[in-house]
Amino acid sequence: MEVRIQAIHFEISEHLESFINKKIDKLVRRNESIAAVDVNLKVIKPECAMNKEAIIKATVPQHGEIVATKVADSFEEAVDLALEAIDRQLEKLKQKK
């Protein structure tokens, strides 16, 4: 399984990167069909609250890509919310089978 993390217009800290990898590992353990995960992080407007955006794409064979975009006060919160949305979408796919 491949994980790609991209920080747009800022340097990602090791703490944030390890946080994201840990959360993705938990998601992949519950949903083994995930082949790859792309995480894009960016700051929308530096001078306001709720300005951290996380876009997460999970590639699932036979289903294509599942995408979730969330905005929050911190990248950790945005990643958490986006991964929860991905998890819910994966559960719906399992139920359809």
Q: What is this structure's pTM?
A: 0.89
Q: What is the 3-state secondary structure (H, E, C) of the chain?
A: CEEEEEEECCCCCHHHHHHHHHHHHHHHHHCCCCCEEEEEEEECCCCCCCCEEEEEEEEECCCEEEEEEEEECCHHHHHHHHHHHHHHHHHHHHHHC
Q: Tell me: the pLDDT tens digits for 23-47? A: 999 999 988 889 999 999 999 877 7
| Domains of the chain and CATH, by start | 2-96 (3.30.160.100)
Q: Tell me: the pLDDT tens digits for 43-92? A: 987 777 888 999 999 999 888 899 999 999 999 999 999 999 999 999 88
The reported pLDDT for the residue numbered 17 is 95
